[in-house]
Amino acid sequence: MLGTDLDRIIAAFTAGDRRAASRLISVVENGGAEAEAVLEALYPALNGAPRLGVTGPPGVGKSTLVDALVRGERRAGRRVGVVAVDPTSPFTGGAVLGDRVRMGDLTLDSGVFIRSMATRGRLGGLARATKEVADVLEAFGHDVLVIETVGVGQTEMDIATAADTVVVVLSPESGDAIQAMKAGLMEVADILVVNKADRPGADQLVRTLEADLAMRPAAVWRPPVLATIASQGEGIADLAAAVGRHHQSLQRSGDLATRRLERARGEIMAILRDRLWQRARGQLAADVSAWSERVVAGRATPYAAARALLAAFLESVEDKA
Amino acid sequence: MERADTERTIRVLVAKAGLDGHDRGAKVVARALRDAGMEVIYTGIRQTPAMIAEAAVQEDVDAVGLSLLSGAHMHIFPEVLRLLREKGGDDILLTGGGCIGDEDMAALAALGVGRLFGPGASTREIVAYIRAEVASRRAPT
């Protein structure tokens, strides 16, 4: 794509063209210099819209819950951008992104824009560019952003820094997994939802979660546990109200600013890490091989090797500066 | 890392149009495309032309694959094509499959619909066709 072509698409985007928005999302998703140019052009249009993260194990009804939540937001007159992430196969690089199946009726609502993303090798439950895709949707004028993660287990916590409010969704079937999740997923939850609450075991799960939360140290915000039947819209109004209360609490306590600073910090660090690493790796590859032989021969430890390599690398950087 | 335009992951919307719920064929094709390294946005059954075209635009797909068994292909394919063009998606390949006679296939091809696959088609054929067609559409003219 030529630079002028990109300028033309950005102009169409600013005028509200959905095809242009979709194109810019692809540019951002694919990364590189064009993605940077797009973000630079769109950043002034960011409005600080609340970001809601929806996460939980596979099959608990995340997409159905997102569908129900978005309908509620629409009834309140708010425009909603949705980013739904599904896993890329590590073997083929392909993916089936099926979250739209549960959101079919939202497709023709001009106040909703849904984008499916594949993780493309990223392991934290989101794709590398999910946050940036949400930026594009925010700049497009959406009032609320919803990010749905892949079906997660114990370690996929990227959503904690990508969203202002994290909803962790469970179903009665995920009961056995709860013990294992206490040290991860449960800790990032601002709101806990037991979906499919008409199934056996739902009440028990709600009580278990509440008992677990009661043992946590007192905090400004105590995560509520809510029961929903998303497929019938039951409990959704309460969930939306809880999301609203959490956002107000974040604003009152100053935690919203803290979270967003933390998010920006994390982003800058990640970019720095990538760039530094790329540069160092290219420059040091040959020396690393030489040091490896010394390490195998017992003439140096890996730490001594790294120390020498880092010193050499930093010296070369200083020479260029 | 930056990749050339022609190497970008191919994105395909797979939808089942019409009122019947027989989505086995669509699911088999979706899996085959995934196994060929493509990102498949699967939208499920009972999709109207308007839903298909709008989802294709939001997802910025390279191709739309429609499964159609109800006999309404002479209505649905032209309608999806018209709506794609109306929404600025004229560069999106519209292909698909179902029980479609040779005469209808020729008529749809004349309108700008891509190749359509009959019941005997292999998924390998479909994968190869989409790959080649998307590559030629992405190539600078």
Confidence of residue A165 (pLDDT cuts 50, 70, 90): very high
Q: Kindly determine whether residue B42 and residue A26, on different chains, have CB atoms separated by under 8 Å.
A: no
Please report residues of B whose CB lies closer than 8 A to that of A120: 9
The helix (H) or strand (E) run that includes residue A14 is helix A3-14
Question: Which residues are within 8 A (CB) of A321 and not within 5 positions of it... i.e. 6 or more apart?
Answer: none
What distances in angstroms separate CA B42 from CA A21, A80, A208, one per listed residue? Answer: 21, 21, 36
Tell me the mean pLDDT in the region A261-283. Answer: 90
Please report residues of A whose CB lies closer than 8 A to that of B60: 22-23, 25-26
Residues A92 and A133 grouped into a single domain: yes
* Domain containing residue A183: CATH number: 3.40.50.300
Q: Is residue A259 part of a domain?
A: no
Cβ contact B70:A127 at 8 Å = no
Q: Is residue B23 part of a domain?
A: yes
Q: Is residue B98 part of a domain?
A: yes
Asked if the C-beta of B58 comes within 8 angstroms of chain A's C-beta atoms, the answer is yes
Residues A159 and A221 grouped into a single domain: yes
Mutate to test the interface with B, among A83, A91, A107 (most CBs of B within 10 A): A107
The residue type of A102 is R
- Total domain count for chain A? 3
Structure tokens at B42: 């699967």
* Domain containing residue B32: CATH number: 3.40.50.280
Mean pLDDT of chain A: 92
Structure tokens at A32: 């590189």
Residues A29 and A138 grouped into a single domain: no
Q: Is residue A260 part of a domain?
A: no
Residues A221 and A91 grouped into a single domain: yes
Q: Kindly determine whether residue A107 and residue B51, on different chains, have CB atoms separated by under 8 Å.
A: yes
Q: Is residue A172 part of a domain?
A: yes
Residues A239 and A278 grouped into a single domain: no
Structure tokens at B105: 């296939």
Nearest chain B residue to A100 by CA distance is: B43
Residues A105 and A224 grouped into a single domain: yes
Q: Kindly determine whether residue B8 and residue A30, on different chains, have CB atoms separated by under 8 Å.
A: yes
Q: Is residue B2 part of a domain?
A: no
- Total domain count for chain B? 1
Residues A297 and A249 grouped into a single domain: no
Residues facing residue A168 across a β-bridge: A55, A192
CA–CA gap between residue B65 and residue B57 (Å, rounded): 14
Q: Measured between CB atoms, which of B40, B54, B60 is closest to A108?
A: B54
| Domain end residue (candidates: A228, A253, A278) | A253
Question: Percentage of chain A surpassing pLDDT 90?
Answer: 77
Domain membership of residue B28 as a residue range: 8-136
Please report residues of B whose CB lies closer than 8 A to that of A16: none
Characterize the bridge pairing of strands A144-148 and A51-55: parallel
Residues A10 and A63 grouped into a single domain: no
Domain membership of residue A151 as a residue range: 46-253
- Residue by residue, DSSP assigns B100-113 as --HHHHHHHHHHT-
Asked if the C-beta of B95 comes within 8 angstroms of chain A's C-beta atoms, the answer is no
Q: Is residue A174 part of a domain?
A: yes
| Domain end residue (candidates: A253, A280, A297) | A253
Q: Is residue A301 part of a domain?
A: yes
Q: Is residue B141 part of a domain?
A: no
Residues A34 and A58 grouped into a single domain: no
The residue type of A45 is A
The string of pLDDT tens digits covering residues B7-66 is: 789 999 999 987 777 788 899 999 999 999 999 999 988 899 999 999 999 999 999 999
Residues facing residue A194 across a β-bridge: A170, A227
The string of pLDDT tens digits covering residues B77-102 is: 999 999 999 999 999 999 999 888 99
Asked if the C-beta of B38 comes within 8 angstroms of chain A's C-beta atoms, the answer is yes
Confidence of residue B2 (pLDDT cuts 50, 70, 90): very low
Q: Measured between CB atoms, which of B8, B33, B43 is closest to A94?
A: B33
Nearest chain B residue to A97 by CA distance is: B41
Residues A27 and A154 grouped into a single domain: no
Q: Is residue A309 part of a domain?
A: yes
In this model, does residue A2 exceed pLDDT 70?
A: no
Q: Is residue B36 part of a domain?
A: yes
